[in-house]
Every structure is written in structure tokens, then in C-alpha cells.
Chains A and B, each alone.
Chain A
């Protein structure tokens, strides 16, 4: 990453006018009253953003938060209502794979057409053609009309063209999850190579893990505003908390509609604490291989009967579940729950690597319906002399033979 900005977005707002009329007749009939037939919708409001050369930025947010609109503004496909978008360098947009493929043309003809749309000259296409076909892995069908392609072949060819364009800025919208696993890995490798070559990548994705893996910066958008802009870890934490809040809200709303009889039993976690083997409690700092105990206190307003399920899990700060278990999996049938009760999960020998971890707690009814969930109930860290990466701690040595 460097200090040179390749994309600069200053005070950008984008308004969509939702018109309910389209034909000449309707316009004439409604002339003068046309404001009644318009609705304003602000997809983006006062967004400022500067993206420096060589960085990989993830745009994340719930559906309808303006991510794709922002990407289209950067790509010049849409024009901002207010503010400006400046950029430098060659830009390629992978907004939809195979946009511009013509079903009646052969694969070969489409490669030329599509590469040309993405900004390659004829000579460059000639030079890259074999590499493109090779990357796509569909040599046999390159002279077949594209309409006979399976959707996987279609996407393979389209992606192959896209990655052979030589952009300074690459805009990617939800297209990485294509093809079979082998091809996906090839695509991700290519994205990594792009990063290494100092290209700037702006990525819109709903796969938060992908963002965490690839991006060195994440921007969370919500209702057209930038909510968080920083490391993927912070951004994803904000976003996951938001999703959790939305989910809870929806759950409560659904709940309030139910009659008293159908309503789930109400109970909640009122305290969760971690205890190390040596009796230490609070924010634990463990060494690899050390165990701990998770103590949960539950308060039940109603009686929770039947084979209800108590669960816990260990997650990364980004929310990836590393380990989880439940009373059912452990084969423990819990007695009927009423009033306040305490439970304890004992974990022996956590083989975790250096880093921050969170403990998640879940309480479910016999049928698996959620009663209460706390995604980050407690946090602890593991400290180890760093000899490896990744969440798993495996003692390793290297000897030359």
C-alpha cells in the first residue's frame, strides 16, 4: 500500500427517482402533477472515501445499503447526484460475469468482444488469447456457440477474460463465488497475484470471511452512509453485531404476533464467565494446551421443559466458529429449567494459536427454536511464541535431512 490515492470520492450522494409511470400517455395525463408520481430514494448520502494504490478494500453492508451503487459510481456507470468521483489508471469492472456475451456467437468471438469491452486492444487479445482459453479450461468448446454452454462454462470463460485484462483498478461485485471449487481456488489465486502486483481492488461481497481474508480495509455501509471504515476485523464486528440486532428484532416481532400458548418459553443468559484451570477468572490469557471452564447462569421466566439444548462455541473475533458443542452432542439431558440455574462446560487442552477469541452461548428449545443467543459472551486470549499462523496450535519443528 502507498499514499497515492487512485480513487477519491468527495461528498457523493446518489438519488434515485422512483417513477410510477413510463409511457407517453401516462406522462401527458399526469403532466404538471408529475411530482405526485415520484418517490425519492437516497441510495448514498454524503460519502467520502479515498482509496490508495495497491490496497484491497471490501465494501460490506446489508442488502440495499448502497454498496453496489457506490461501485457503479466508481465505475462511471452511474453519475452521482452530488459530489464527485475521481480516479486514475485503467479500470476494469467485474460487475457481472459475461455481461456482453452474445449467445449466438462462439466462445472465440465472445472472448474478443468481451475483452474489447473491458478495454483490451485487438493485439493484446491476440497475445492473451491462448492464456485466456487455457485459464478457462474449455478448449474443446471454444468454437461452440455460447448458448450451448453450461452455466459453469459460461462463467469460467467470462472470468478468464476478465482476469487477463490489465487493470490498475479492479471492481468486483459478488462474482468470486463461481464455478466449482477447483476453479474458485484458481480465481482466488489470481486475485492474490493481482494484489501482489500492486493493483487496487474494490470488492463487494456478502461473504464476510472472504472480505476478512482478502481485504486490508473494509468499509461498512448502511442506508447509504459509511458506518465503519477501518480494518476488516472492526468492520466485520460492527456488521455482525448489526445483523445480530436485526435478527433479534425480527424474532421479537414474529414472537409478538404469536398467541400466548404458542409463545416460546422465555429464558436468558444472565452471566457467563470463564475460569482457567488455576482458578483465574475474568479476561483469561491462556497458553496453548491449557484448558478452561465456561460457567453460564440462566434465568428462566417460564418453565423450559423437555430435552432443551444448551450450547457453546469458540469463535474468532470475526465470527468464524472454530469449535462448538451442545448438551445434546455431549449426551447430557438437562433437567427442567425454572428460576435461576448454573451450568458449566469444561474444555480440556485448547489447541489454539496466538490471538483473540470469543465464546458464544446458545439456548434452544427441544425443537431447535432459539430461546437466547449471545454471540460474544466472553473473550479470552491465547499467547504463544509465534511460530505459525492460523487459529490452530500444532507444535512443529523443521529439520533438514
Chain B
């Protein structure tokens, strides 16, 4: 036996035996899961870069395509809703208003949509190499955030253009809302990506659910229109309003609008928006933990179900 071999054996003798694959246990595994994921942060960076690079690799316009879709949506909503349906009249600075909502929503829907298919899409890897599988949905979050930052730049540019640039404590809403969005998005992406392995219908279901929630959040209409509508129906201030506000994405989008939609300062806002966002963040963190543990439970059979 060579010297290197002896040295290697001696070194190995120092290490304890560990269990192959993920650690069992629902609650106990949390820390080791986090540690495993932390160790793979470099790989996650590579995966994010892969997603981004591969997505528009052979197209002439490349990253510009990430902007074209939201810009087209902006144009459609601005013309169809703003001009033709005259939503503009009740919503000042309609273009900024709607782009604010769209920016937040695009991030959320991208995390959920790509996240759901992330495990199935990487089945080749999952069947061949053991990695903490959480990195696949997490790398989707990473690439979605990158695209979001590009859109955000345009949004900030737009606020400069209309000469109503958000300043000071307004940004607090943005960071709080963004945190809520990321926590909920990550939690759902983890859960849905795992469930999608066992039930492939999930990705179609997610499509439909996202469509419904798009219209259930105040993206293309303002909170004033919601309260007016509920008031007309005799439901103002009641449980319907509370149910509407229980949707974390509603709070997130209202939070975004508080920051970027400076022209909407005179418009009504739900009471205690910051507190609501704070509560949503705590609920989201608990949900994130539960979803991660569920993911850890489900992942043991990924390789054979794919």
C-alpha cells in the first residue's frame, strides 16, 4: 500500500460513519438540511447561471426577451384597461401603477411556475447524483430574482421619468413586501415541486391557480375600486374584505404600490398594512419551514418516481 493510501485511510478513520442520502427525522433534520444546502451554495450559483444562460442562449436579443413580455403586458393593460376602459380616470399615473403590480406578480408567478417543474425538469441529475434536492427550486428563485432586478430597474427608471421617484421610508414597504413575496414563493415552490413528482397534474393546476390569483390581487385595479365595489354590494369593511386581504400577494402588491406608486398617495390603503405584512412574513416563515420538511420527506422517493 502506498503512502498516500495509508494517509487516506488514517484520515478516513477520523471521520464518523454517516447515513447515505438525506438525514431522516421531521424536526431534527432541519438543521442538517440547512447545512447541506449552505454547502452547495456554489453549485446553486452555477445552476442559476445555467438557467439564465441557457434560456436565451441562441436568441439574437438574449436578455431583452425577459423585458419584452412584461412590456407587452404593460402596453396591453395600459391601452385596453387604462385608455379604452378608462381605468386611468380613477387611478393616477396608471402606467406606473400597473407596472408596479406586474413586476411583483411576474416574480411570484415565475418562482411558482418554474419552481413547480424544477424537480421533474432536472430528473436526469436527480436520478444520477445525490445532491440536496432543495437546490433546484432554490436556484429557480435565484434566476427569477435576477430577472426581477432587471424589471425593477425599468420600474425605477419609469418613476424618474414621471418625476415621482420614491424616497425615504417608502422603501421600507418595498423590502418588507419583497421579503413576504420571496418567503411565500420559495415555500410554495418547494412544496409544489415535490408534489409535482408524484402528481404531474400539479403544473396545470398551478397554471390555473396563478391565473385566478392574478385577478384576485390588486394588480390592474386599485384598492379604492375594491372597497368601492364591496361597499356598493353592502359588504364594505366586513369579512369579505378581510378574506381579500388574507391573500399575501394582495398585501405584497399593495406594499409595492406604497413604494413606487407615488402618485397614489391620496388613495385609500388598508389599515395597518405594515403590521399585516409583518404577520404575513411570520406566517410565511412557518409555512416555509413546513414546506421544506414536507419536501425532505417526499424527496426520498424522487429518484424512483421520476
Q: Do A and B come from one complex?
A: yes
Q: B-contacting residues of A (Cβ < 8 Å)? A: 1-2, 4-6, 8, 16, 22-25, 27, 53-54, 72-79, 84-89, 91, 93, 95-96, 99-100, 102, 104-105, 109, 112-113, 116-118, 121-122, 145, 168, 196-199
Interchain Cβ contacts under 8 Å between A and B, 20 examples? A2-B1, A6-B12, A24-B199, A54-B5, A73-B20, A76-B21, A77-B127, A86-B19, A88-B12, A95-B129, A100-B125, A104-B53, A104-B57, A105-B54, A113-B50, A118-B129, A196-B4, A197-B2, A197-B4, A198-B4
CB nearest to B205 among chain A residues? A24
Q: Which one, B21, B47, B304, contacts A16 given CB within 8 A? A: B304
Task: Pick the residue among B8, B129, B131 that contacts A53 (CB under 8 A).
Answer: B8
B135: nearest residue on chain A (CB-CB)? A117
Query: Are B57's CB and A54's CB within 8 A?
Result: no
B18 touches A88 (CB 8 A): yes
A9's nearest neighbour on chain B, judged by CB, is: B20
Q: Would B124 and A78 count as touching, CB distance under 8 A? A: no
Q: A87-B20, A104-B58 are in contact. List 16 more A-B contacts (CB 8 A).
A: A1-B1, A4-B12, A6-B12, A22-B200, A73-B20, A76-B22, A77-B127, A88-B16, A91-B20, A93-B129, A100-B125, A105-B54, A105-B57, A109-B53, A196-B5, A198-B9
**Chain B 262-302 per-residue mask, 1 if CB under 8 angstroms from chain A, else 0:** 00000000000000000000000000000000000000110
Name the contact of A74 in the complex, choosing from B8, B20, B53 (C-beta under 8 A): B20
Interface residues of B in 15-55 (CB under 8 A from A): 15-22, 42-43, 46-47, 49-50, 53-54
Complex Cα–Cα for A113 and B50 (A): 8
Answer whether residue B128 sits at the interface, using C-beta atoms and an 8 A cutoff.
Answer: yes
B interface, size bucket: 35 or more
Contact B131 A117 (CB under 8 A): yes
Return the chain A residue nearest B5 by Cβ: A198
Chain A residues near B49: list those with CB within 8 A: 109
B6 close to A (CB within 8 Å): yes
B303 at the interface (CB under 8 A from A): yes
Asked if B201 lies at the interface with its beta carbon under 8 angstroms from chain A, I say yes
Which residues of B have CB within 8 Å of A84?
19
Instruction: Give the Cβ gap from B260 to chain A, nearest Cβ, in Å.
Output: 35
On whether A145 and B46 interact (CB within 8 A), knowing A4-B9, A86-B17, the answer reads: no
Identify the B interface with A (CB < 8 A). Answer: 1-2, 4-9, 12-13, 15-22, 42-43, 46-47, 49-50, 53-54, 57-58, 124-131, 199-201, 300-301, 303-304
Which of B5, B13, B130, B201 contacts A23 (CB under 8 A)? B201
**B125 nearest CB neighbor, chain A only:** A100
- With contacts A88-B12, A112-B46 taken as known, whether A75 is within 8 angstroms of B20 at the C-beta atoms is yes
Q: Which residues on A sit within 8 Å (CB–CB) of B6?
A: 198
Bound-complex Cα distance A2 to B8 (A): 11
Question: B5 to A197, Cβ gap below 8 A?
Answer: yes
Q: Which residue of A lies closest to B21 (CB)?
A: A76
CB distance from B262 to the nearest CB of A (A): 42
In the bound complex, residues from chain A placing their C-beta under 8 Å from that of B300 are: 79
CB of A335 to closest CB in B, whole Å: 59
Quote the shortest CB–CB distance from A90 to chain B (angstroms).
Answer: 9
Known A84-B19, A198-B2; contact A77-B57, beta-carbon cutoff 8 A:
no
B201 and A24 contacting across the interface, CB-CB below 8 Å: yes
Distance A91 CA – B130 CA, assembled complex (angstroms): 10
Query: Nearest-CB distance from A174 to chain B (Å)?
Result: 12
Residue of B nearest to A118 (CB): B129
Q: Are A99 and B8 in touch, CB under 8 angstroms?
A: no
A116 touches B46 (CB 8 A): yes
A145 partner residues in chain B, CB cutoff 8 A: 57
8 smallest CB-CB distances across A and B, nearest first, come from A198-B5, A76-B21, A99-B128, A76-B130, A76-B20, A79-B300, A86-B17, A85-B20
**CB-CB nearest in chain B for A2:** B9
Residue from B1, B124, B131, B303 within 8 A of A72 (CB atoms): B303
CA distance A99 to B124 in the complex (A): 6
Q: Are A77 and B1 in contact (CB under 8 A)?
A: no
Q: In the complex, what residues of A have CB within 8 A of residue B304's CB?
A: 16, 78
Q: A23-B201, A53-B8 are in contact. Are A88 and B15 (CB under 8 A)?
A: yes
CB distance from B51 to the nearest CB of A (A): 9
A199 to B49 alpha-carbon distance, docked (Å): 33
Inter-subunit contact B20/A100 (CB<8 Å): no
Residue of B nearest to A17 (CB): B304
Contact A88 B17 (CB under 8 A): yes
**Residues of B contacting A109 in the complex (Cβ-Cβ under 8 angstroms):** 49-50, 53
What is the CB-to-nearest-CB distance from B60 to chain A, in angstroms, rounded to a whole number? 15
* Bound CA–CA A84/B1 (angstroms): 30
Give the contacting residue for B12; candidates A75, A89, A117, A122; CB below 8 A. Answer: A89
